[in-house]
Chains A and B, each alone.
Chain A
């Protein structure tokens, strides 16, 4: 498996997957901010996206010009096969760990 997937990277990948066709810079940012209730910087987000793209986990294309962005186009992202594989890999790793440590992780009722 190439590349280590960081926590924030995983979050971004999953959000892109969740947003499906609507995954672009500001969209991703808002979605993460809503779900995690924390503010993320646009610079950090784009840096992460760029790294993900370099690793080949996502691919991007430019959309149509939009009015609310001063006529500029959005760059949309979607997961590549490798991206999906990476997520699956992480999930499998986690599931396994969960299964093993289930007893210890049980929260007191």
Chain B
């Protein structure tokens, strides 16, 4: 005979689970008996189906309900309200927390620190998720983005070519209302004696219709119709007009001429991906471009910097239609595969922030990537804190085993004990939330100041954020508490009450040790990061850039005639030499040009800068061959000084040979003769490789005067310079900075990295040390008797300390062994790769970091073990 046919498993299990502790053996027996009879009468499948039906019928029958009510200790058997039980859990949790004050404090401190940075993240995400929600028609507004297919990076830009606007408007009805925006409007606005820098957009009149930027004054239908009409936000209007009514006033924008204020915009919310102070019509830009000698905004399909196209989908139109149209348009425009190629995509307004990271974004955009990185960092800090809690709770098992044993003997259900421990954890995390919130308030400002786009972010603790915080804390409580709760609820009451706790539980300490090692490795990683980044920062500042940067003050000319500036400033005693340039060297990206050799065989992108004849000497740049610019401006207009890399890339031979050769700028067909060759120098931040570079002569349009000063009294010198500046009749205030400071500023990125790493490091170390402290305290408490007896038998304090601390030292050593190579590799192979001219990670950084970690670890360990070893054995052994 074959094996006894078993009834289907699933219904049987469900039945048993549902009935829980109720007496239903006979009912299940009945079910099985019927099933077996059925098997003899019908197919197995039918029998199974009937089993299901019978089980279901029985499950909902009065019989089971009644039996469950009579069952012992079933949750449904008690008549008490579920909240009564919760209250009881709460009371017990509060009592046990109050009883174990030290561990409670330790846990709260650890979790507070661990959660604090996550709160920043939550507040940030809550805020970012509300971006652009104020646009009424946001579900119908889209943006055209451009992906450049260069086969290499395939960068996607938030901007789009200007000609696409007309095509889209004329040829694609589904696109509805199309708006073009140009975001390069930045100018000094002048009204009476007030001079205020304003920034904003050129936009089509439909801008006000599509987007929800309401006008406080003025008529939205006509406000942007006329040329040179300007909308201004309330805030900017207050700056410019003070108390006057702005409407109808005429103001002057330095570059663009006179504008009439035709409307006042209500200040847009901070959570807008478009940030502006003024709006003027797009036609104004087009009109202005016509009268410019050389168009600054290329009207081509391949240049679209700062130009954006938004559209509001027509009623009942399908987005896919626009998509198809754009696809075809891209194919017809970029027809030749060997040339510039790009395709257009559609992005919903709702997907802009947070959204994918795009190049040339119109305003603040929070990319997913940075959010993910931030989230990962938060977890890196939060998880160790949770581990610590788990770890400490379970190490206290011995102390609480009796309580649990008794509870179970008295009829406490496993699920009840589980819930009670979970309640306890959630209570702790909620208490920790208070501490974390305090830290959050402290860190908030500092955090905001580190972010580039901080003006578009608020970390307010408003109601939704607070609710998220509480939910988060509860979730953390569940994560941290689930393992201890499961462990405690599983304890065998007989063993527990006799204080026999399965010490092998929780992975026989192995997992705990792993966690400890992981935490310390993490901490060490952060400490090392700080040391490495600091060194890189210092090195960048003292790096030999190939020119002399000391004692140079850069003065922003702000429209002052360079010749007059030179005349007046040369008279000052402290001023040694003055040179003029288009931008500040070594701090930002200079202009780029496309350069071709005359025979067209080689071409390259080259950076360029406009200087005068004194520049090289002033900065100590060395000429390898040829001559510096002379005093006659006319003839050297088409002459350039190039760097050595330029020669290498364009294959112009040696420096001596290259002098006199010519190159072409294909953009405007200029032919330039090489007048001299300059030794390679670092004209960019150190994260970029030295590339082709050339100087052109242009003293008239210089933006910056580089003044070399020799002075013992810097303050007096600056005062003198400022007075001279005023004599020049300049309207703008005197703006001058030491070149060295400007360079230091451009490395400020390192500094925020140092800050971030230090902050994370401090958090990680605090959490690790708290965890270690908890473990050491617990272990020494448990061994106090052993220590006493050893002491009586003649062990010295030093021996005892060693005995108690040995295992922790081993963990620390292991952490060092893991963290050092990992951090080294991370920085050496990944992070510092971004830096082209980088430092090597020295032994000193590693040693100092390890020293710091060991010091902290040892102090934590020894403080406890020392106390235990010094204890009077008479007290400790007598105990109990």
Contacts and interface: CB of A to CB of B under 8 A. Distances in A.
Interface of A: 24-26, 29, 41-44, 46-47, 49-51, 54, 62, 66, 68-70, 72-75
Contacts of B26: 24-25, 62, 72-75
B27 A25 contact: yes
Contacts of A44: 57, 61
B62 A50 contact: yes
B42 to A, nearest CB: 14
B742 interface: no
A42 B29 contact: no
A12 to B, nearest CB: 13
- Shortest Cβ-Cβ A-B pairs, 3 listed: A43-B57, A72-B29, A75-B26
B486 interface: no
A47 B58 CA distance: 8
B373 to A, nearest CB: 57
Given A26-B34, A50-B66, A43 B60 contact: yes
**A interface SS class:** helix
B37 to A, nearest CB: 8
A70 B63 contact: no
Contacts of A72: 25-26, 28-29, 32
A96 B271 CA distance: 89
Contact of A42 (B4, B34, B36): B34
Given A46-B58, A68-B36, A74 B63 contact: no
Interface in B9-67: 25-34, 36-37, 54, 57-64, 66-67
A43 B66 CA distance: 13
Contacts of B66: 50, 54
Interface residues of B, number: 26
B857 to A, nearest CB: 59
A43 B54 CA distance: 7
A78 to B, nearest CB: 15
Contacts of B61: 43-44, 46-47
28 contacts: A25-B27, A42-B30, A42-B34, A43-B54, A43-B58, A43-B59, A43-B60, A44-B57, A46-B61, A46-B62, A46-B63, A47-B62, A47-B63, A49-B63, A50-B63, A50-B67, A51-B62, A54-B66, A62-B26, A68-B32, A69-B30, A69-B32, A69-B33, A70-B29, A72-B26, A72-B28, A73-B29, A75-B26
Q: Looking at chain B's contact residues, is the secondary structure mostly helix, strand, loop, or mixed?
A: helix
Nearest to A62: B26
Contacts, number: 73
A77 B67 CA distance: 16
Contacts of B59: 43
A49 B30 CA distance: 14
A58 to B, nearest CB: 13
B845 to A, nearest CB: 70
Nearest to B37: A26
Given A46-B27, A47-B62, A73-B25, 17 more contacts: A24-B30, A25-B29, A25-B30, A29-B30, A43-B57, A43-B59, A43-B60, A43-B63, A47-B63, A49-B63, A50-B62, A50-B67, A54-B66, A66-B29, A68-B36, A74-B26, A75-B26
Nearest to B28: A72
Contacts of A50: 62-63, 66-67
Contacts of A46: 27, 30, 58, 61-64
A49 B32 CA distance: 19
Contact of A74 (B29, B36, B64): B29
A26 B33 contact: yes
Contacts of B34: 26, 29, 42
Nearest to B60: A43
Contacts of B60: 43
A28 to B, nearest CB: 10
A54 B63 CA distance: 11
Interface in B639-688: none
Contacts of A43: 54, 57-61, 63
A26 B27 CA distance: 9
Contacts of A25: 26-27, 29-30
Most buried by B among A29, A70, A73: A70
Contacts of B4: 70
A26 B25 CA distance: 13
A101 to B, nearest CB: 35
Nearest to A47: B62
Contacts of B54: 41-43
Contacts of B31: 42
Contacts of A69: 29-30, 32-33
Contacts of A73: 25-26, 29
B560 to A, nearest CB: 98
